[in-house]
């Protein structure tokens, strides 16, 4: 074994509560729960943390990474470069070590010598004989493998100064009910800690200090929050087809329903989950339920949403409420199933053939996943049309810090314009698609409401205001125009953009969804270079009128999105009549969450000279 450069030899910049730790593992090796424990311990020390899973579409044996950004400044986006690499995968170790920033660290299993070509002279190595320790301490082969992960977490606790009590408490919580597992896990943590204690100077200059930045916050993934939002929003029916990265939405819904939706008297269920034969059936079931007055949803991703197109057109044209969660992943086709993208804006905004438009909501945090999920059912019932909640893999499958979820107990579900038996009794003639109120939203009835009033025929073929079949082009156009009016009304029911332009600068940024995590960091860093921008975060489509105004009020607006074809920019052109010259695209589509560095670089590169771009109040 070549002599390793130790941490004392290379000068490392001290970094407190502001660095990136990346774990390189083999999937299926049990690293996930150990890595989660690491991130959560930091969260519990009061330090903002954002973990990102970068995993393969595979069950066992392929490389997987867990990247943890720690940021006292609450920058929760990804950051380029790794300060400490936990290199546990021989297959990727070379590239993993290359990605470490100069002065950074590599923690590796020194039970086997490190190859010469893996030695860099500008970084520090933290050799830990994990395999040897586990062979010595544990008897069962499975334990010897699994506990390697726990031992390195124990070692990291010493290296980085993680409060050990926080870790042991988490082990006790995790294995509540399986007490036998608590002691061996704590033992494994102690083994790692002890080895560092005896062999290294610690903590490293890279270290954690207790803070108070996570008080009142929670650490939760978006899909769990969506499932919970569906419970709170009154959904009773989930029909779905398993598809990464949407699967955990229905898992979460089922978990909370089994806890919160069992009728106390009878023990019976106030929910139904149908694992359908495909995504066509999944959305068909949800539409059938919506037509009959129950709140229903389906969750999917790109390939599934493609299959749902015909049904989305039916629901649009026949005006049936349904909620769809699209947890976007990299397309086209199968694409990269376990990587993130905002690539389905086109396929969802105008989903289905003919003249259509769909309501889209863009959550950016797990808290918004919860809120928008619940809101989606109100909006869908109110507007009698599908609502597609556009999350993505990054938001859906990674834990993220956000404010606690909250619910207003005085809130009553908005079931929209549904006529009761009594209301039907009072009206002379019911016409399903008549625009009584002038807002483009007609009145509907549920089957079985009244013995001889209010029945109608729902169809995807052209129909008149009374829902009767027609091939009269003018009558068809009248209905289409009324639906268009309904989409103008929609703006009143959709979440409005978040705009920061108190200072009114020449430059602006428009973004949505998971891009949000990088924005504050971009603004802060550019401010140091005397560049200031106004920002607008889009939360819904069709766009609020303030979006168009924002573009018009700025000389240049950066449109930041995570797809190749600048889909958001195109939508802005179509919907806001925005000028091409006024918009500049910043795109990221490599399947990883966009970084602040990427955005900064593109903004700086786009400026002919920095001097030119210095902010001048408009």
Considering only 95, 407, 427, 436, the residue that binds another protein (CB under 8 A) is 407
Residue 290 touches another protein, criterion: CB under 8 A: yes
Residue pointed to by tokens 């797809």: 563
Characterise 46 by phi-psi region: left (phi > 0), alpha (psi -120 to 50), beta (else).
Answer: left
Q: How far is the CB of 454 from another protein (least distance, A)?
A: 8
User: Between β-strands 272-275 and 63-71, what pairing exists: parallel, antiparallel or unpaired?
Assistant: unpaired
DSSP 8-state class, residue 418: B
* Count of residues of this chain found to bind another protein when the rule CB under 8 A is applied: 70
Stretch that binds another protein, among 46-54, 78-86, 323-331, 406-414 (CB under 8 A): 406-414
Closer Cβ to another protein, 105 or 256, answer by number? 256
Under a CB-based contact definition with an 8 Å cutoff, are residues 353 and 289 in contact?
A: no
SS3 33: helix
- Which residues inside 294-333 make contact with another protein, applying CB under 8 A? 294, 296, 310-311, 314
| Distance, CA of 612 to CA of 618 (rounded, Å) | 14
Residue 284 touches another protein, criterion: CB under 8 A: yes
Q: How far is the CB of 457 from another protein (least distance, A)?
A: 4
Closer Cβ to another protein, 269 or 549, answer by number? 269
| Distance, CA of 503 to CA of 449 (rounded, Å) | 56
Closer Cβ to another protein, 220 or 518, answer by number? 220
Q: How far is the CB of 230 from another protein (least distance, A)?
A: 10
CA angle 554, 556, 557 (to 5 degrees): 85
Residue 41 touches another protein, criterion: CB under 8 A: no
CA distances in angstroms from 357 to 77, 341, 537, listed in the order given: 31, 21, 21
- Report residue 65 as tokens: 């990474």
Closer Cβ to another protein, 135 or 218, answer by number? 218
Considering only 155, 274, 507, 594, the residue that binds another protein (CB under 8 A) is 274
Residue 469 touches another protein, criterion: CB under 8 A: yes
Q: How far is the CB of 16 from another protein (least distance, A)?
A: 23
* Spatial CA neighbour of 22 closest among 103, 80, 82: 82
DSSP 113-157: PPPGGG--TTSEEEEE-HHHHHHHH--SHHHHHHHHHHHHHHHHH
- Residues β-bridged to residue 262: 269
Stretch that binds another protein, among 4-12, 193-201, 270-278, 496-504 (CB under 8 A): 270-278
| Distance, CA of 581 to CA of 129 (rounded, Å) | 59
Closer Cβ to another protein, 224 or 246, answer by number? 224
Q: How far is the CB of 442 from another protein (least distance, A)?
A: 15
Q: How far is the CB of 364 from another protein (least distance, A)?
A: 18
C-alpha distance across the termini of the chain, in Å? 64
Return the number of other C-beta atoms located less than 10 Å from residue 387's C-beta: 29
Residue 172 touches another protein, criterion: CB under 8 A: no
Closer Cβ to another protein, 281 or 560, answer by number? 281
Considering only 164, 175, 346, 456, the residue that binds another protein (CB under 8 A) is 456
Closer Cβ to another protein, 235 or 559, answer by number? 235
SS3 50: strand
Residue 457 touches another protein, criterion: CB under 8 A: yes
| Distance, CA of 611 to CA of 433 (rounded, Å) | 58
- Which residues inside 504-523 make contact with another protein, applying CB under 8 A? none
Q: Alpha-carbon Rg of the chain, whole angstroms? A: 27
Residue 428 touches another protein, criterion: CB under 8 A: no
| Distance, CA of 27 to CA of 15 (rounded, Å) | 30
- Which residues inside 207-246 make contact with another protein, applying CB under 8 A? 217-220, 228, 231-232, 234, 236-237, 239
| Distance, CA of 400 to CA of 394 (rounded, Å) | 10
Residue 276 touches another protein, criterion: CB under 8 A: yes
Q: How far is the CB of 455 from another protein (least distance, A)?
A: 5
Considering only 180, 268, 429, 528, the residue that binds another protein (CB under 8 A) is 268
Residue 182 touches another protein, criterion: CB under 8 A: no
| Distance, CA of 361 to CA of 45 (rounded, Å) | 33
| Distance, CA of 144 to CA of 135 (rounded, Å) | 6
Q: How far is the CB of 212 from another protein (least distance, A)?
A: 13
Considering only 177, 451, 473, 617, the residue that binds another protein (CB under 8 A) is 451
- Report residue 613 as tokens: 């771009």
Closer Cβ to another protein, 412 or 616, answer by number? 412
Closer Cβ to another protein, 456 or 476, answer by number? 456
Under a CB-based contact definition with an 8 Å cutoff, are residues 361 and 540 in contact?
A: yes
Where does this chain bind another protein (CB under 8 A)? 217-220, 228, 231-232, 234, 236-237, 239, 256, 260-261, 263, 266-272, 274, 276-278, 280-294, 296, 310-311, 314, 404-409, 411-413, 445-452, 455-461, 469
């Amino acid at each position: 074994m070549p002599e390793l450069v130790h941490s004392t030899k290379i000068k490392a910049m001290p970094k407190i509560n502001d660095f990136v730790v990346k774990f390189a593992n083999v999937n299926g090796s049990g690293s996930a729960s150990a890595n989660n424990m690491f991130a959560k311990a930091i969260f519990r020390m009061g330090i903002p943390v954002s973990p990102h899973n970068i995993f393969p579409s595979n069950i066992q044996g392929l490389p997987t990474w867990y990247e943890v950004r720690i940021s006292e400044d609450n920058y929760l986006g990804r950051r380029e470069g790794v300060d400490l690499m936990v290199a546990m995968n021989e297959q990727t170790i070379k590239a993993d070590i290359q990605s470490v920033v100069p002065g950074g660290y590599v923690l590796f299993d020194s039970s086997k010598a490190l190859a010469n070509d893996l030695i860099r002279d500008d970084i520090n190595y933290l050799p830990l004989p994990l395999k040897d320790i586990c062979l010595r301490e544990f008897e069962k082969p499975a334990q010897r493998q699994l506990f390697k992960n726990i031992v390195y977490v124990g070692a990291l606790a010493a290296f980085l100064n993680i409060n050990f009590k926080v870790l042991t408490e988490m082990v006790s919580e995790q294995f509540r009910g399986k007490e036998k597992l608590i002691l061996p896990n704590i033992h494994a943590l102690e083994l790692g800690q002890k080895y560092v204690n005896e062999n290294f100077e610690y903590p490293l200059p890279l270290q954690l200090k207790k803070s108070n930045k996570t008080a009142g916050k929670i650490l939760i993934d978006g899909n769990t929050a969506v499932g919970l939002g569906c419970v709170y929003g009154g959904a009773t029916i989930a029909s779905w087809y398993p598809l990464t990265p949407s699967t955990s939405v229905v898992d979460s819904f089922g978990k909370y329903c089994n806890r919160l939706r069992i009728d106390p008297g009878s023990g019976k269920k106030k929910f139904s989950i149908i694992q359908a034969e495909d995504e066509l059936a999944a959305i068909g079931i949800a539409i059938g339920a919506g037509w009959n007055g129950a709140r229903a949803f389906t969750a999917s991703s790109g390939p599934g949403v493609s299959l749902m197109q015909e049904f989305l057109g039916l629901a649009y044209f026949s005006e049936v409420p349904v909620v769809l969660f699209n947890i976007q992943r990299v397309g086209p086709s199968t694409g990269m199933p376990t990587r993130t993208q905002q690539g389905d804006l086109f396929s969802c905004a105008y989903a289905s053939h003919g003249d259509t438009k769909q309501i889209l909501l863009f959550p950016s945090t797990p808290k918004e996943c919860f809120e928008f999920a619940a809101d989606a059912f109100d909006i869908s019932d109110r507007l009698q049309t599908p609502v597609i909640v556009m999350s993505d893999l990054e938001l859906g499958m990674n834990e993220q810090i956000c404010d606690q979820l909250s619910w207003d107990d005085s809130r009553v579900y908005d079931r929209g314009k549904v006529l009761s038996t009594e209301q039907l009794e009072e009206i002379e003639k019911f016409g399903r698609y008549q625009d009584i109120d002038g807002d483009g939203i007609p009145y509907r009835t549920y089957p079985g409401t009244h013995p001889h009033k209010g029945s109608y025929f729902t169809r995807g073929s052209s129909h008149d205001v009374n829902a009767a079949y027609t091939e009269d082009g003018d009558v068809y156009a009248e209905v289409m125009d009324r639906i268009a009016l309904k989409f103008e009304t929609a703006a009143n029911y959709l979440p409005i953009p978040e705009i920061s332009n108190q200072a009114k600068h020449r430059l602006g940024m428009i973004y949505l969804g998971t891009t949000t995590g990088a924005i504050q960091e971009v603004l802060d860093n550019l401010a140091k270079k005397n560049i200031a921008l106004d920002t607008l975060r889009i939360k819904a489509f069709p766009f609020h009128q303030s979006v168009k105004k924002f573009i018009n009020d700025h000389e240049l607006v950066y449109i930041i999105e995570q797809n190749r074809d600048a889909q958001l920019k195109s939508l802005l052109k179509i919907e806001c009549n925005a000028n091409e010259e006024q918009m500049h695209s910043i795109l990221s589509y490599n399947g990883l969450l966009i970084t602040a560095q990427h955005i900064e670089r593109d903004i700086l590169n786009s400026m002919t000279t920095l001097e030119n771009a210095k902010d001048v109040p408009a």
